[in-house]
Amino acid sequence: MSPNALTFALIALLSFPGAFTAPTQNGTSSQNIILRDLARPRYFGAAMNTTFLFHDQAYTKLIQTQFSAFTPENEMKWEEIEPEPNQFVFGPADEIVKEAQTLYAKVRGHNFEWNNQLAPWVNTSLTAVELDRALQNHITTILNHYRGKLYAVDVVNELISDNTPNETFKQGIWDTKFGEDAIPKALTYARAADPHNTVKLYINEYGTEGIDSKSDALYNVVKGFLADGVPLDGIGFQCHFGLGQVPPTLQQNLRRFTDLGLDVAVTELDINIGTGNPQNATAFALQAQDYWTVVNACVNVERCVGVSVWGVSDDHSWLPNGAVLPWDKNKQPKPAFYAIADAFQGKPKPGLPTDN
């Protein structure tokens, strides 16, 4: 090679800082792993946040390379999108939808009926009739605005009680005003706004991932809705877990809901190492095993349509101190990243580090 050619080659290589520094695991460079491709025919998604999109270049690069579905982390919640009666602020959510379209990715709307992050005007001073009109208008206006642009929407979020079997529905404005009709109202209004069934209608829940009293309550509620003709297409299982807390009955539980004729999805996955535990190689390996277990459960259930993590990197998580996500604060892949890839490919669960 001539001196000039050698100089040119060195300049070209140095123009790509990651050329020699890409993290590897078992000899596999992270640059060669694209999770959205490995997930097919399922999607691999993330909660997207406009606070970081385009403002954090490394975050944006991961958004644009690794994911095939996005959920607005906050931008479609009631306090953000309808802060005043019938005054809709679509700009931030539009930004997410536009970016998803650019990437040929799906969008999961999130959410309509929830007890948290409501606009201040949505409160118990409203009569049941007034709240009913507000809910119908909220759902209809948003679904009309995003017609043809949403794959699915979490119509109902976290309305099953934590106090099962003593009570079924979580106490809040929806239960107070509508009782057992709360969830069917929202689902019925959503289907009426989307009569051609282009959007998958979901109930999204936490704490129902394993077979226990809360998931039994959800199952029985859903089974009753389907028998009564209430429109429903899928169940989202959030999967916010602490280290070692993935229930052994996760896959069995997913399957019993698909046996009802529904899709299921992992919608908000993260694994919290916890602030009281050392964040060392063993902890990250255990976290990777938990990620593998969740993704593997989805892969082994035919109608589990996808897995979404709730955020992208540890510095931009709703749990900023638990090192909960597959990428660290520097946007470098952790063992969890490689474990997700292995699960999508049907490879065995990763082992724990051994002392040399």
Say how far apart CA 202 and CA 332 lie, in whole Å.
33
What whole-number distance in Å separates Cα of residue 170 and Cα of residue 161? 4
| Catalytic pick among 158, 205, 209, 302 | 158
**324 CB-near residues (< 8 Å, 6+ apart):** 270, 271, 272, 273, 311, 314, 317
Name beta bridge partners: 70: 46, 107
Helix (H, G, I), strand (E, B) or coil at 21: coil
| Measured distance CA(40)–CA(345) in Å, rounded | 10
212-215: long-range contacts (C-beta < 8 A, 24 or more apart)? 212/247, 213/164, 213/165, 214/160, 214/161, 214/162, 214/164, 215/253
Length of the chain: 356
- Catalytic one among 73, 82, 99, 268? 268
Is 113 annotated in the active site?
A: no
The verdict on whether 268 is a catalytic residue reads yes
Residues catalogued as catalytic: 158, 268
